[in-house]
Amino acid sequence: MALLEINDLHVNYGMITALKGISFEVNEGEVIALIGANGAGKTTTLHALTGLIPAKSGSIKLNGTELTKVPAHKIVEMGMAHVPEGRRIFQHLSVLDNLKLGAYTRKDKANIEKDMQMVYERFPRLAERKSQIAGTLSGGEQQMLAMGRALMSNPKIIVMDEPSMGLSPILVSEIFDIITSIRKDGTTVLLVEQNAKKALAIADRAYVLETGNIVLSGNASDLINDESIKKAYLGE
């Protein structure tokens, strides 16, 4: 059984159909990339997974448990963390408070401090800025904070929405290195990206989303050499 199983998922925004029945799965320990053009439905997929928008039909199973009727705040408790698109951090709170909020749903209070240290080790820039107001962090630091906050819930799987958006090439590489290390430490990753080249380089498998349908899927190493992918997403 896969860790995350999506079956024939439909999502509507009023009259607009954003997802037209997509199916995919994420196995434990994998990094899966979900790539696609603007408006393909990538963010919509992640929002449906984490309960931020309701699914019209279809099923989402985490460890065999159906999620489509579970409210968003319970899904985090069940082990799925979300790094939302566009660095949605708490602008007016400190870095420390942002991280604490990431652990809000946890029952094992004793381990929170330990995980906080782990996040600081992974993101030394955050450790230096514990009491800084999050809104004053640089773009890259805010992205790290959003990732650190998601890790504070000690998730089994972390879903990330375009973590490299708007970052300089050096920071993009740094973010992708961090994703690789998160995976190495045992957390499964579902990664939504515009930067298909980088995403395919670190992913095990990938799915290509086009106007609400999955049109292609396979091993990342194969897709990176696929002619249609090269044309559409790698700009070659």
Partner 1 sequence: MKTKSKLIKPYTKKSFITYALLIAVFTIVQLILNFGKMSFMMQSLLVPLCVYSILAVSLNLTVGILGELSLGQAGFMCIGAYSGALFSSLMKEAIPEAMVRFPIAILLGGLCAALFGVLIGIPVLRLRGDYLAIVTLAFGEIIKNICASLYLGKDAEGFHLSIKSAADMNMAPDGKMIINGALGLNGTPKDSNFTVAFIILLITVIIAYNFVYSRTGRAVMSIRDNRIAAESVGLNITKYKLITFGLTAFLAGVAGVIYSHNFSTLQASKFDYNMSILILVFVVLGGIGSIRGSVIAAVVLTLIPELLRETIGNYRMLFYAVILIAMMLVTSNSKLKGRITAYTNKLKGLIKKEKKGEIK
Ligand X SMILES: Nc1ncnc2c1ncn2[C@@H]1O[C@H](COP(=O)(O)OP(=O)(O)OP(=O)(O)O)[C@@H](O)[C@H]1O
Instruction: Identify the residue among 41, 51, 84, 155 touching ligand X (CB under 6 A).
Output: 41
Question: Given the complex with partner 1, which of 93 and 171 has the nearer CB atom?
Answer: 93
Binding of ligand X by 144 (CB under 6 A): no
Interface with Mg ion in residues 43-102 (CB under 5 A): 43, 85
Parallel, antiparallel or unpaired: strands 57-62 and 65-66: antiparallel
- Rounded Cα gap, residues 215 and 207, in angstroms: 8
- Annotate each residue in 31-60 with x if it binds partner 1 (CB under 8 A) or - if it does not, as one string: -------xx----------xxx--------
Q: Which stretch binds partner 1 (CB under 8 A): 59-67, 96-104, 171-179, 211-219?
A: 96-104
Question: Given the complex with partner 1, which of 51 and 140 has the nearer CB atom?
Answer: 51
> Which of ligand X, partner 1, Mg ion, none does residue 79 bind (CB under 5 to 8 Å by kind)?
none
Parallel, antiparallel or unpaired: strands 4-13 and 16-26: antiparallel
Structure-token match 């430490």, residue found: 185
Tell me the sheet residues that pair with 34. 192, 207
Q: Are 144 and 125 in contact (CB under 8 A)?
A: yes
Binding of ligand X by 102 (CB under 6 A): no
- Rounded Cα gap, residues 9 and 114, in angstroms: 37
User: Helix (H) and strand (E) counts for the chain?
Assistant: 10, 10
Binding of partner 1 by 104 (CB under 8 A): yes
Q: Which residues bind ligand X (CB under 6 A)?
A: 13, 16, 18, 36, 38-44, 85, 194
